[in-house]
């Protein structure tokens, strides 16, 4: 795939972030999500690629925009799979909390796991612990491994976990081991990524969350030369059958990085909507000037770009005062 695609993807996440940020703190998560998806679709149409959504907002009859199987791009250029979360953190934006982002992962056709919308157990680490983790290890053993790999004392190790009742025992065990716990609310893509960036101080991500977000996270972690493992957690026979229909003969098999993202020819892009550990949020600077903060990465070259951009939004179809009431 052409390296120029990376910067084209940033234009998509930037547009979605600016549109959805206008709903920040207004208590309307559906409107924020709709604004992001509309902006993404419009920008995708200008990109030279033959894209197919493999992870989106559901099937055609469930989501009118960016649904699984939808074609994106102008049809010219590389054939790619697209995993997209137009707004990771709809509740975050509605409530004005931190760590909402717009995210995209793109890889050559057939490279991304076609993960159904269900629970997935996940673990992610940075490059120093790459190849050393196993999702089936007790959390205590994993903490020992990651602490040694990152040259840290256990009491200085930070594990990031989603604050959910299902994780209460896990959190208790991490604390009993002596490691530090950083809790987060919604949106676990960013939580996976920060394990691969030393300046964040986060060493390990563990927990159970959404499978689509797991594949998107894997693309980002692969670009950062980190490591990730996962396992789907189907809740009933219907979900088991759905896994099999999507090509997984063993729905509960251990999924390595190469199962989640089968090629080095992969990209990840994200733009912050609200403030977070990874990215700053959209800032409305007065008049028609808006500032965005984005990251874009390529697995093949391990290139990581942080992009801060100013946008002039006059004469563009952003929200009107009527829509905001």
Q: Where are the domains of the chain?
A: 4-109+265-319, 119-260
Q: With bands split at pLDDT 50, 70 and 90, how would you rate the model's confidence at 277?
A: confident
User: Distance (Å, rounded) from C-alpha 164 to C-alpha 84?
Assistant: 24
User: What mean pLDDT do residues 18-32 have?
Assistant: 93
In the annotated binding site, the residues are: 33, 57, 85, 88-90, 119, 164-166, 186-188, 210, 213
Name the percent of the chain lying above pLDDT 70.
93
Contact criterion met (CB below 8 Å) for 226 and 195: yes
The CA distance from 145 to 206, in Å, is: 14
- Percent above pLDDT 90 for the chain: 68
Residue 256 CA to residue 273 CA, distance in Å, equals 30
> Which residue ranges are tagged as binding site for substrate?
88-90, 119, 164-166, 186-188, 210
Q: What pLDDT sits at residue 2?
A: 61
**Mean pLDDT (whole number) for 274-303:** 93
Q: Among the listed ranges 33-47, 66-80, 99-113, which one has the minimum average pLDDT value?
A: 66-80
User: Quick one: pLDDT at residue 153?
Assistant: 97
The domain at 119-260 falls in which architecture?
3-Layer(aba) Sandwich (3.40)
Least confident of 23-32, 89-98, 246-255: 246-255
C-alpha span between 151 and 174 (Å, rounded)? 18
Pair 115, 214: CB distance under 8 Å: yes
What confidence category does residue 60 fall into, taking pLDDT thresholds of 50, 70 and 90? very low
Give residue 233's pLDDT band: very low, low, confident or very high (50, 70, 90): very high
- CA-to-CA distance for 94 and 49, rounded, in angstroms? 33
pLDDT band at 195 (very low <50, low <70, confident <90, very high): very high
pLDDT at 251 over 90: no
Q: Is it the case that residue 5 has pLDDT exceeding 70?
A: yes
- Indicate the annotated binding residues for Mn(2+): 33, 57, 85, 88, 213
Residue length of the chain = 325
Specify whether the CB–CB gap between 63 and 84 falls below 8 A: no
pLDDT at 58: 58
Q: What is the CA radius of gyration of the chain?
A: 19
pLDDT at 186: 82
In CATH, what is the architecture of 4-109+265-319?
2-Layer Sandwich (3.30)
Least confident stretch, 108-112, 168-172, 186-190: 186-190
Which of 132-146, 151-165, 241-255 bottoms out in mean pLDDT, i.e. has the lowest?
241-255
Residue 7 has a pLDDT of 87
Confidence of residue 64 (pLDDT cuts 50, 70, 90): low
The pLDDT assigned to 305 comes to: 93
Phi, psi values for residue 113, rounded to 5°:
-60, 130
How far apart, in whole angstroms, are the C-alpha atoms of residue 303 and residue 247?
31
């Amino acid at each position: 795939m052409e390296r120029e695609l990376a910067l084209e993807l940033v234009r998509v996440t930037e547009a979605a972030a600016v549109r959805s940020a206008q709903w920040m703190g207004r208590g309307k998560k559906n409107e924020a999500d709709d604004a992001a998806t509309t902006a993404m679709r419009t920008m995708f149409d200008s990109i030279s690629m033959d894209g197919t959504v493999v992870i989106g907002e559901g099937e055609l009859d469930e989501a009118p925009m960016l649904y699984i199987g939808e074609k994106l791009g102008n049809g010219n250029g590389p054939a790619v799979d697209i995993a997209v979360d137009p707004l990771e953190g709809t509740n975050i934006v509605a409530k004005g909390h931190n760590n909402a982002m717009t995210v995209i992962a793109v890889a050559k056709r057939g490279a991304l796991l076609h993960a159904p919308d269900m629970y997935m157990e996940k673990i992610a680490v940075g490059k120093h612990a790459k190849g050393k983790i196993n999702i089936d290890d007790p959390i205590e053993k994993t903490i020992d491994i990651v602490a040694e790999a990152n040259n840290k004392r256990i009491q200085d190790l930070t594990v990031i976990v989603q604050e959910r009742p299902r994780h209460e025992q896990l959190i208790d065990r991490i604390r009993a081991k002596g490691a530090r716990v950083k809790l987060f609310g919604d949106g676990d893509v960013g939580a996976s990524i920060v394990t691969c960036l030393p300046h964040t101080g986060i060493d390990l991500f563990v927990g159970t969350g959404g499978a689509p977000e797991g594949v998107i996270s894997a693309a980002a972690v692969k670009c950062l030369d980190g490591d990730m493992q996962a396992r789907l957690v189907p809740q009933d026979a219907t979900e088991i059958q759905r896994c099999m229909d999507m090509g997984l003969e063993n729905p509960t098999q251990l999924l390595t990085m190469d199962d989640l993202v089968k090629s080095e020819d992969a990209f990840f892009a994200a733009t912050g909507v609200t403030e977070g550990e990874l990215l700053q949020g959209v800032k409305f600077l007065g008049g028609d000037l808006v500032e965005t903060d984005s990251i874009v990465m390529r697995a093949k070259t391990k290139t990581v770009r942080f992009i801060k951009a100013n946008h002039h939004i006059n004469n563009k179809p952003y929200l009107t005062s009527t829509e905001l009431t």
